[in-house]
Structure 1
Amino acid sequence: MTTPDNYLGLPLHQVAAEIERALRRYPGIARARVIRDADGRFVAQVLPWGVHSVTADTGVLAELAGMNMAETRFLHDEIFVDEVYLRGGIVLRENAVVFDVGANVGMFSVFVGARCPSAEVYAFEPVPEVFARLQQNIDERGLNTRPFNYGLSDRDQEVSFYYYPNISIMSCRHDYTNWDNEIDLIKRYVANERRSGPPGRAEHLAEVESLLARDFEFVECRCRLRTLSSVIDEVGVRGIDLLKIDAQRAEYDVLQGIEARHWPLVQQVSMEVHDETGSPTEGRVEQVTGWLAEQGFRVSMEVEEMLRGTGRYAVYAIRPGYENDPRPVVAATGTTHAIKPELVADWLSARLPAELLPDRVDVVDALPQAESS
């Protein structure tokens, strides 16, 4: 008979950790915990990505390699909850090819892996310290993502970047720095979220607000930039289902790095565009939307509610006829796929020895805060 602290001669925590590590690689699972129930059976409890993955148990974000918790939660809410990159009619089809320009620590790669596991992602992040976290998250989650430690631009070059360790999503080329706008962004985001955001976020918003007291300390580093066309030629993709761009004021440069011969390969574009009054980006939305229209896309634009008034706009472009692509749509705004315990169990059985398989898989809305044994 097994004892409460051992299973198959191994410490219980070691067995549980092995199962949990495997479960984190299942598409759509944010976190997993293995417990022993009152009858002594092993039960794998799994928490899906989404609203509950944060509001019910913030520990899920601690399992992602990020720069700090306030920033990681911001990215989670923006990508998983608000689904900012799947608006405007943008979809993910089966076996989609996704280019993630401005990948940061890989939250969008995690999202794509959770919502469209058959997709192949090419992720670009120029800042070495941030890229290391991206690589770590790819490896830990077993994502079908190929990372590149450089950014994209209108030409191949090496430029100076200002990297902000306390808020890495604002890191950018030194010539695109706009400190006043960044400070205003944080103030407006906090104010908007306190006024109309979901409940239970006071501590998170206080953490974000505290960033203002840190004087935006930065580290200057040299980063490599390439053109998207040169990458397409190198990796040999035959099409890009979604080009996602969040390049901190350099978004138009990324578009300029696509040669005319490659534009027909791009089917959808989802991007953040900076259009800041009194700055070099003023008028950029009109410039970007006009350029995409010239390339034959249907273009739309909106302002994300929590970023209203900050000069950030979301631009979406879809190539006419893409709706006739025969591959099924796997992910779109507001659509989720329930995680079925029996499918998780079958998936585990192909990856773990029979003696390590849990007796039962339960899908839950929350995980206990303390470890159980």
Structure 2
Amino acid sequence: KNYKLSNEDVILQKTTYTFDVSVWELLWWSLVGAKVRMLPKGEEKDPEAIVNNIKKGNITVIHFVPSMLNAFMEYVIREEKYSDIKTLKKVFSSGEALEKEQSNTFNKKISKQNSTRLINLYGPTEATVDVTYYECKAEENEIIPIGKPIDNTRMYIVDKANGILPIGVAGELCISGVGLARGYINNEKLTGEKFVANSYEPLEKMYKTGDLARWLLNGNIQYLGRIDHQVKIRGYRIELGEIEACLKKHQYIKNAAVLYKEDKVGDKYLAAYIETDKSNFQTIDEKNRYTLPNNMSILHLNKNETDFMYKEIFVEQNYLKHNISIKDGDCIFDVGANIGMVTMFMNQLYKDIKVFSFEPIPDLFKLLEINATLYGNDTKVFNCGVSNENKEAVFTFYPKASIMSGKYADVKTEKETFSKTLYNHDQVDLEEKSNIDKYYSELVEERFEAKEVICQLKTLSEIIKETNVKQIDLLKIDVEKSELDVLNGIAEVDWSKIKQIVLEVHDSDNQLNKIMSLLNEHEFNVLIDNENELEDTNLYNIYAIAMSNEENGINSINECNIPKEIPIIEDSILTRDRLCDFLKINLPEYMVPSCFIQLEKMPLTSNGKIDRKNLPESTDNIVTGVEYAAPRNEIEEKLVKVWSEVLGIEKIGIDDDFFT
């Protein structure tokens, strides 16, 4: 009665090729007077074809499995086809569990535009398909219920003896009522097992679905999975569906599957697969993320270097000094992006900015690309350097001192600069210097292990042409002795598009004067800053503002801008400890899985259900809290081999914890 169809409704139905349930649906709809439009063969899995048919046939009702609903929603939202489905009044979903993210996306996007109602249905074929209904709310925070029984149908949740269970207790879902089938044709044994006497309605049968569910306080039923997912570990009988249902309550988990596994030595354990956004992964590409003081969790090469960049960029805010000004919506070119610290910094402070980030060294670019995905918003990344011509070049890459890598890198010079920077950073006086020279010397030698890589270079003007950029509000350049090459790659016609420049200059071969001359020639007001940590080095920071863009004049060194407050973001990383603590709120300890494996997307069967048989065996994204560290010598190799043989685990790192 709640969702009665009438002669005003038009239903979109896939073409029926065999005498199946769809035939009965067609007969029923004809009885209630609803019109039916048939989809041409092959179009039932094509979102564009479905949308076109909705528009053409003025469709009011459509029925999806959730996986197809996803594809339909993605197409409508991406292509903004809301007006093409404006006639759609009701969307029914059944056949598998409807996730809260799907419901929330539908209501925020499609319902908001067209007032379309989303109704979740449940029902096996043995009960003539759908027997419960639930209209999804605008914002769902828990597992989507399957709802309440339809008219002339009774639902029971029972224990193993078919005794009624109280509200909140999980048990087997059973169905009784006029829609129930009489049994399985030519299969009396299975009919006897599944269609049992109904003790509560003596003249009726009750169908045992094999599904795990529980009543909620508001009278709705919550589906929890299958009874046959019940396992026994260490003497405890465990419902895997209950663990999955609990995991799905977590705000960052979209879907979950729990498997019962056995390791190589015969020990049984629970493994939880969780579908989350990449921003919630603790480990990406087998690297643990490093958490900065503002709670951003990034990928990087080494801690000391990252801490140095954070202090320079986020704390001291060197790229916003001396009247350098950025506004919401500005365009920034981050040349020599490294792992993307400037890119992430700007995106944290300003809204709707466009950032173009350039990093030629492949190892650094991989990290930049991931960090930009996590915290870059509207950021485009380029695996190339910026120079005075389009070509390939050999770069020297220092993995342990990546900020000093470059086309013109010279180990001797880099070592001297790095040593002086260390002394300045630690404020070492002459008396102390002699005592720690050996320590610094060893540290410098370790840092400058080098390898050569071939990198692609492009001119800035070529990039401006390719990206169709009309204005660059800030051009940041940090390219280790290649800064003049970057500026020489700007065509005359493009200089007027650049409003502000901040660059680090290495004053070798009179580069500082050449750059000053070039900036003055193109009408920039310039300030040179040789900061404390750059004293006694040939490094300078240059701040340049185009005269056409300048209002108050460039600030002097002692009139730096007041640093902006860096927002502390929510720490959304799903660590093993956090997941365990979350589950222990509602589950006993023996039901908490031993390991958690993060996936961006669950493998699905052809009808859109989780394909448990194809869940990956690999533990690349296992949540342990410890980044893999390979053995470094013969003794460590032997120890790792022993533990691998004993535990039956192939990949064990030297920092792994036996107890996790």
Q: Hey, what's the Cα distance between the residues in 1 that align with 2:387 and 2:518?
A: 16
Other structure's SS at 1:88 match? coil
Q: Does 1:234 align with 2:469?
A: no
Q: Does 1:167 align with 2:401?
A: yes
Aligned to 1:348: none
Alignment of 1:264-283 (within 5 A): 264-275=496-507, 281-283=508-510
Aligned to 1:15: 250
CA positional deviation for 1:131: 0.2
Other structure's SS at 2:547 match? coil
Matched positions, count = 287
**What residue identity is the alignment partner of 1:161?**
F
Aligned to 2:310: 76
Q: Hey, what's the Cα distance between the residues in 2 that align with 1:161 and 1:307?
A: 24
Determine which of 336, 345, 361 is the counterpart of 1:102.
Answer: 336
Aligned to 1:65: 299
**What residue identity is the alignment partner of 1:104?**
N
Q: Does 1:322 align with 2:553?
A: no
Structure-2 change in CA distance of 1:7 and 1:288 (3 Å):
farther
RMSD in angstroms over aligned alpha carbons? 3.4
Other structure's SS at 2:490 match? coil
CA positional deviation for 1:323: 4.0
CA positional deviation for 1:88: 2.2
Aligned to 1:256: 488
Q: Hey, what's the Cα distance between the residues in 1 that align with 2:368 and 2:519?
A: 29
Structure-2 change in CA distance of 1:23 and 1:307 (3 Å):
farther
Structure-2 change in CA distance of 1:338 and 1:300 (3 Å):
closer
**What residue identity is the alignment partner of 2:344?**
V
Check the 8 A contact 1:7/1:15 in 2, yes or no.
Answer: no
Check the 8 A contact 2:313/2:345 in 1, yes or no.
Answer: yes
Q: Hey, what's the Cα distance between the residues in 2 that align with 1:92 and 1:324?
A: 14
**What residue identity is the alignment partner of 1:138?**
A
CA positional deviation for 1:303: 0.8
Structure-2 change in CA distance of 1:93 and 1:73 (3 Å):
same
Q: TM-score, normalised by structure 2?
A: 0.40
Aligned to 2:351: 117
Higher relative contact order (CA 8 A, sep 6+): 1
**What residue identity is the alignment partner of 1:140?**
L
Q: Does 1:88 align with 2:322?
A: yes
Other structure's SS at 1:309 match? coil
Check the 8 A contact 1:190/1:209 in 2, yes or no.
Answer: no
1:318-348 deviation per Cα after TM superposition (whole angstroms, max 9, x unaligned): 01232459xxxxxx9424257599xx9xxxx
Check the 8 A contact 2:396/2:453 in 1, yes or no.
Answer: yes
Q: Hey, what's the Cα distance between the residues in 2 that align with 1:102 and 1:339?
A: 25
CA positional deviation for 1:133: 0.2
Q: Hey, what's the Cα distance between the residues in 2 that align with 1:243 and 1:142?
A: 17
Q: Hey, what's the Cα distance between the residues in 2 that align with 1:226 and 1:314?
A: 24
Aligned to 1:334: 562
Q: Hey, what's the Cα distance between the residues in 2 that align with 1:207 and 1:112?
A: 36
CA positional deviation for 1:23: 12
Structure-2 change in CA distance of 1:142 and 1:85 (3 Å):
closer
CA positional deviation for 1:298: 0.5
Aligned to 2:388: 154
Alignment of 1:146-225 (within 5 A): 146-173=380-407, 176-195=408-427, 211-214=443-446, 216-225=448-457
Other structure's SS at 1:10 match? helix
Q: Hey, what's the Cα distance between the residues in 2 that align with 1:283 and 1:225?
A: 23
CA positional deviation for 1:167: 1.4
Aligned to 2:360: 126
CA positional deviation for 1:215: 6.2
CA positional deviation for 1:8: 9.1
Q: Hey, what's the Cα distance between the residues in 1 that align with 2:356 and 2:442?
A: 34
Give the number of the structure whose alpha-carbon radius of gyration is greater: 2
Q: Hey, what's the Cα distance between the residues in 1 that align with 2:520 and 2:503?
A: 14
Check the 8 A contact 1:170/1:182 in 2, yes or no.
Answer: yes
CA positional deviation for 1:18: 5.1
Structure 1: where are the runs of 5+ without partners?
26-30, 32-47, 54-59, 197-205, 276-280, 326-331, 345-368
Q: Hey, what's the Cα distance between the residues in 2 that align with 1:72 and 1:338?
A: 17
Aligned residues: percent identity? 31
1:239-267 deviation per Cα after TM superposition (whole angstroms, max 9, x unaligned): 10000000110000000000000000000
1:279-319 deviation per Cα after TM superposition (whole angstroms, max 9, x unaligned): xx232111111110100111111112112222110011101
Q: Hey, what's the Cα distance between the residues in 2 that align with 1:109 and 1:18?
A: 28
**What residue identity is the alignment partner of 1:163?**
F
Q: TM-score, normalised by structure 1?
A: 0.69
Other structure's SS at 2:332 match? strand
Q: Hey, what's the Cα distance between the residues in 1 that align with 2:370 and 2:440?
A: 24
**What residue identity is the alignment partner of 1:231?**
I
Check the 8 A contact 1:124/1:150 in 2, yes or no.
Answer: yes
Aligned to 1:36: none
Q: Does 1:141 align with 2:375?
A: yes
1:117-157 deviation per Cα after TM superposition (whole angstroms, max 9, x unaligned): 32100000001111000001011224321000000111111
Determine which of 499, 505, 512 is the counterpart of 1:285.
Answer: 512
Q: Hey, what's the Cα distance between the residues in 1 that align with 2:441 and 2:542?
A: 27
